[in-house]
Amino acid sequence: MRIEIDGRKITAADGTTLLGAWLAAGHPLVDHVGCMGQGVCGACRVLVRRAGQDEATTELACVTRAEDGLQAAFLDDTTPHRAHPYHLDPTHDSWDAHGRVTEVFPEAPSCRHCDGCNNACPVDLEVHEGVVAAVAGDLVAAAGRFEDCVMCDLCTTACPEHIAPNHLGLFLRRMTTSLSLRPDDLLRRLHEIERGHMTIDVHASVEERG
Amino acid sequence: MTSAGIPYEHAVEAWRAAAPAPPRSLDVPAADVLAAHHPDHQAHGTTTLRVGANAGDRCPSVLADLLESASLVDDVDIAGTAVADTDVVVVGGGGAGCAAALTAADQGARVLVLNKLRLGDSNTVMAEGGIQAAVAPEDSLQRHFADTVRAGHLAGSRDLVAAMVHDGPDVIRWLIQLGVTFDTVAGDAGEVLMARGRAGGTTVPRILSCRDHTGLEIMRSLREAVALHPGIVVRDHAPVVELLTDTHGRCTGAVVVDLVSNAVQLVRANAVLLTTGGAGRLYVGSFPSSNHYGATADGLVLAYRAGARLVDVDSFQYHPTGLAWPSALVGQLITEAARGAGALLVNGHGERFVDEVAPRDVVAAAMLREMADGRAVERDGQVGLLLDVPSLVADQPEILTDRLVTLAKLAARAGVDPTAEPLMVRPTLHYQNGGVVIDEHGATGVAGLWCAGEVAGGIHGRNRVMGNALLDILAFGRRAGRAAAHAAGERIRRPVGLHHLQQWQRGLVDAGLPLDRRAPLLFPPESNVTPDDVMARCR
């Protein structure tokens, strides 16, 4: 099948991914690449237009399969220059968690519900619903929407209000975990170790398995 | 190496007739299967190193070609080049690099993180199954220590293993403080307990997880924490091609290629920390690889050339369950958590042939034996064994939605219904067991140079247990970051040069090795880019 990536015409074998086809055609690749097929690193963002399709979509080139007539263009990674800085302080007052969301992400309440983030997401998350839930104070549900997020930043690029939805989602996940996850077995074991009640004898005999 | 297997249609019939197949352990001692079938034990494709600290040691030829290579730069390249100063330079922003950078910066050091690709692009983000830490009441640090030493065939450094194991519970607390979540279960009295899975070759369930995308969960929090830390500067698309040394051989910085501006730059630092990861993209033994695109042994090459000693460079891990079909997805990994939960391996006759939770090297060798003896499965020219996921799902109906979510997605991409059809798998190059020799603080034999993560060796011996890689990178990343920040506290401005290269070049000439073979490789063989191409962009 014939495809086109970054203006280069490529003959792709059946079943290959866009990245695989690009490499097999002999083109150099020093960026827009990472996990090579697992779809978890967000490096290989491409704009894709399929034959007969009017609208372009944003996808990951390491998992998208070549289709006859498909056109794709790599999207450069750009660091969002409107950072939303925060520091997860373990002594922070967790009763104020909802307030912190709009403190760190002041643009979030301005969401214009355009669905740009949902359309941009290459792993089909309900990004917009996550933003809305976060603003409403439904923090655990909002965090859950971002469980499979690969931090490709496409929703951040797409958002006209500069909300940085994926960074908001990650903030929610990180904050709720750091403020609330206290497994009892872990607490007990740390207590034992820190009081010197559990040590390691490096000279103890260890037998090779049979 | 592999003879043709049993046609897939016949194999599936045999599987269906017997599923779930009854237990059948190895019919010969594990040591014999390892000796006959594990790639580490085969002389084919290896050579003896002739120069450097490990001269005389066996090494895979593809790695030896890089270790015994000439530098990509000489004095002409660095003459007149501007020098940037920092306290600590971290080369490679994966899990180990981010842990090191955060720890060093928290100690007050100015930290620069240099990435060949982007911050977070690493094997860490791809890790699935989980991380080991001895938190359960019936478990102990001693038990974790013994399991690790035993699985490594007693070859690992006991001091390094003890250091890593000791840090385990504290590493988990640190991750939670950074916002990394873990699966939990309710105890009998309603208390919150960490959910634990079983790793092959261990005596107690000790794998802590976030479903089967634990590495993604860890990496996205670490990456965000680094990106937001005011004491850390991050530069992407800026690979290191050589280390800088002073006249005493002390490492004093790094030579960087900026792939955005196509320029060679110098970084002078009081401490240089290599966290460059592994070597899976060298395709040792011509195996498919589960590794990240950047896993090209760069750090091994840089450290070795600067005089560091390596250990167990001839030992690699072959993960038993990389996908073997379809061809476009060969190398994609299915977590060991699947076998830990009860998924069976069967051959083309529908028979089991090994204890699925035996150590990884034993399971992989047993699979290679089935493949060599014609009992494997063949489909569209690909050869592998069958992973019986349907029987697992029949037994635990929620497992694909609750725990093995990555497996379910991969099966969908393969066009396989994992509730009805087994997946075809084969041993896949996964991990570099050895690496640069370090002490408990990540210090190498070269002054000024620290290593942590997969680039370092001596911890896992000749076989690593599932979940100990994520613990290793974080435990030693933090240790090395702390030590590097402490050393950098002197803030002495040392001269930078390429002093180690003179002796190195002489060694290559004396050994009759070519001077036109240059490394580090930077990009894998399939990249259509050589290291010389990269340098040509800057000239």
Q: What confidence tens digit (pLDDT) does each residue in B378-416 have? A: 999 999 999 999 999 999 999 999 999 999 999 999 999
Element (H, E) at A180: helix A165-180
Least reliable range by pLDDT among A86-95, B286-295, B461-470: A86-95
Question: What is the pLDDT confidence band of residue A210, given thresholds at 50, 70 and 90?
Answer: low
Partners of B267 in beta bridges: B84, B254
Residue B1 pLDDT more than 60? no
Contact B228 A87 (CB under 8 A): yes
Number of H helices, E strands in chain B: 18, 22
Q: Which tokens go with A33?
A: 């690449």
Q: How far is B140 from chain A (nearest CA, A)?
A: 8
Q: Which residues of A touch B526 (CB under 8 A)?
A: 23
Q: Which residues of B touch A29 (CB under 8 A)?
A: 523, 527-529
- CA nearest to B426, candidates B279, B358, B327: B327
Do the Cβ atoms of A58 and A154 come closer than 8 Å? yes
Instruction: Name the residue in chain B with its Cα closest to that of A90.
Output: B177
pTM, entire model: 0.97
Amino acid at B435: G
Number of H helices, E strands in chain A: 8, 5
Partners of A8 in beta bridges: A5
Amino acid at A1: M
Per-window interface: A 93-132 vs B, CB < 8 A? none
Rounded mean pLDDT, B159-178: 98
C-alpha B379/C-alpha A62 separation (Å) is: 23
pLDDT tens digits for range B48-59: 999 999 999 999
Instruction: Name the residue in chain B with its Cα closest to that of A174.
Output: B179
Mutate to test the interface with B, among A62, A63, A94, A181 (most CBs of B within 10 A): A181
Residue A33 pLDDT more than 60? yes
Contact A38 B187 (CB under 8 A): no
Q: How far is A208 from chain B (nearest CA, A)?
A: 6
C-alpha B334/C-alpha B319 separation (Å) is: 9
Q: What is the pLDDT of residue B3?
A: 57
| φ and ψ at residue B90, rounded to 5 degrees | -110, 125
pLDDT tens digits for range B319-339: 999 999 999 999 999 999 999
C-alpha A152/C-alpha A122 separation (Å) is: 9
Residue A81 pLDDT more than 80? no
Contact B534 A83 (CB under 8 A): no
Instruction: Name the residue in chain B with its Cα closest to that of A42.
Output: B121
- CA nearest to A126, candidates A148, A145, A153, A150: A145
C-alpha B354/C-alpha A47 separation (Å) is: 46
Residue among B196, B339, B478, B479 flagged as catalytic: B339
Sign, CA torsion B30/B342/B409/B418: positive
Contact A31 B293 (CB under 8 A): no
Question: What is the pLDDT confidence band of residue A80, given thresholds at 50, 70 and 90?
Answer: low
Catalytic status, residue B339: yes
Radius of gyration over alpha carbons of chain A, in Å? 23
Q: What is the pLDDT of residue B137?
A: 96
Q: How far is A99 from chain B (nearest CA, A)?
A: 18
C-alpha B82/C-alpha B266 separation (Å) is: 6
Residue B182 pLDDT more than 80? yes
Rounded mean pLDDT, B497-502: 96
Residue among B281, B305, B319, B403 flagged as catalytic: B319
C-alpha B44/C-alpha B67 separation (Å) is: 18
Count how many Cα atoms sit within 13 Å of the Cα of residue B283 in the half-sphere of its side chain: 10
C-alpha A4/C-alpha B396 separation (Å) is: 44
Q: Which residues of B touch A181 (CB under 8 A)?
A: 176, 181-182, 184, 192
Catalytic status, residue B319: yes
C-alpha A154/C-alpha A42 separation (Å) is: 9
Q: Which residue has the tokens 């969002």?
A: A80
Residue A90 pLDDT more than 80? no
Out of B154, B165, B327, the one facing A206 most closely (by C-beta) is B154
The number of beta carbons lying within 10 Å of the beta carbon of residue A148 is: 17
C-alpha B168/C-alpha B102 separation (Å) is: 18
ipTM above 0.95, yes or no: yes
